[in-house]
Amino acid sequence: MNHNFKNRRILVVDHNADSRELLSIIFEQEEANVLTVTSAKEALEVFEDFQPDILLCELLLPGEDGYWLIRQIRGLETKVGYHVTAIAVTVAATEPNRQLALATGFDSHIAKPLKVDDLLAIAAILEQGKFCPQLAQ
């Protein structure tokens, strides 16, 4: 599958430096413009100016969590005029957490440790508006 992320804006939200760096490297190699932040509040502060195409967010963040962040972002969509593709990339990999992530507003839920090819495929499919539930498990 061709993953065309060239010039796409990716916002990575994770308090773990290694996770942030890995996600950044993955998408920078795909020629995306990546911005990383360490908290949900920081993500919300940069959201309108950065206007990400894709949000990659850990659910378990200190302070406000990923669920809080996606609720805030979904509430801003009318103001900003577009729907951001939101993927929970998380250690919170239980079925209840997956269901809550989807119900709260994430488009997909991917467990850590992640498979790079799966992440790229899911992000590409979601960006094209062709959600594929069997990939998002």
What 8-state DSSP symbol labels residue 114? Answer: P
pLDDT tens for the chain, residues 1 to 137: 457 899 999 999 999 999 999 999 999 999 999 999 999 999 999 999 999 999 999 999 999 999 999 999 999 988 888 889 999 999 888 899 999 999 999 999 999 988 888 899 889 888 876 444 444 44
Q: Are 135 and 118 in contact (CB under 8 A)?
A: yes
Residue 13: closest CA among 5, 26, 24: 24
What 8-state DSSP symbol labels residue 63? Answer: S
* pTM, rounded to two decimals: 0.90
